Structure 1
């Protein structure tokens, strides 16, 4: 416990997960949260003054007696529910996730120095939204190769700004029926307005921001694009909300939507030095001894993203070493992983063993 935080400190944000009843009974109706603001008032009336920490169970004692909610995240890490505490419930259909990020900072993002410089204005905005007025950086587009750190950068911003992180795979916004997609987009931003300041992170953005020339390919393209334009334009007050969209296929995005983004930030593949740093960072807490020459590994992974290095090189090498009963990993273990990966087109072959 720090000097600044005590058990009597008021919690700023509280995320609950519906668990259910202690005993299953056919007459029990499973409650759903239809209106976040109404639920927040209802919850505070019951639980104001209650001490909470991650994992704590809270029981409804009114309309749905004994129905349990679990505290899955909160900021700070413990405290009491107070009058200004923002309480919300995880979406039961898991259309979008709400997180309070604590495990990644901008220093953890290897490389992308120009991108880091540009996103610091977002950090300042989230810390002090009223300072910017109409000059706020409300919509920013991250684009570039898959696995290069776009999501990590957005989470680091949320952590350093101490704001909630609302994320969604854009494919989950695509509905089966007319109007579904528009409704989900507006629900996402309704939650964001309740939590502002916050970050809305739209991953795989090209899935919903398709150029309207693809209307014949997917019938709801115009509906989705128009709903996005409404929210990105901030027809309703979106003060304190920064939308960060991420895509690997920027050329697929409708021009009218691209024009709503004040900044387009490119994420490129890591250089030799950056690959070496990524390898070093990931071997800091490695479960086996490391007897590998990481410079050789870095020199033979040109064209690999940071995710490739972890998922296609390090992890398979670790699993094989464990399966073989080894208590260490060496250069050849990693080189074997590299040779099993199909290298990006145009990448010249290199000497594997030095």
Structure 2
């Protein structure tokens, strides 16, 4: 299966629908741009997906799936969202469309779920029927469950073969990320039916979930596909320091908590090691932490000077980071939107050539980022 390239067809529809939006102007090293407010008063929006007809889906962490249509937020939420729990960092998280969405209308949701055994990260598949979800089916559940409302992760991405990557955090218990019998603290790769994807690195390893693709990940909050190589890139939260960007490679241990460039929130060291044989080094890391969330490569034509750059939102530092990357190294880093004062939760490359942002707030916004011309 290959990912269909239908999204570019919606650019004109978006342009027509979004004309006349209120905007704010900004300057950067390479471009002057403006933010257009597309929607607001969303309850902690978490993820954004573009539908081929020009509409958009937005998840609210508080448990609702919303639609933006004709440039306006539809008042009534989409019905049929699976049962979930809103607790701490958990709630309704990512939304991603099936590679063949235009034909089958299927999408995937990640979310926190609770039962008598505790809470965990789940993924459900569903079919979008106008204002409701139908045929909702849970296809992935990280086990064992546990208490606490931290580090659900939940970011998802499809690769070029149509396999779904699902990030699961360490749930606030760091040692779980190095326990092969525990689904926490890693990336799982599954088919659209929830089965372990062909070629997964632990298919023949006793005692390890066959859906595992990587281990040693603390709390991935950004995931995207490289537009040229097809590799899946991610970033994850460190503790105090040590936020990382990584390329997700089969069977790789990213080291948490055995190695880290961060320290504990108490100020005490977690480990005296920043590297160890058999564990991957990050492509880039931040110290102090920026609390990264959402990421996208810029592939549009509106900002030709940004072609191929990686954009990362920041919650704690309330900014958007632009990274130029060449030959596996970050060669330029620029902070954008530092005066906006907003926690950037998600960053998406739009089919209209614009960058799209979500802000994490009880009155969160959807922004569209375009050249100031």
**Bigger strand fraction:** 2
TM-score for the superposition, normalised by structure 2: 0.26
**Bigger helix fraction:** 1
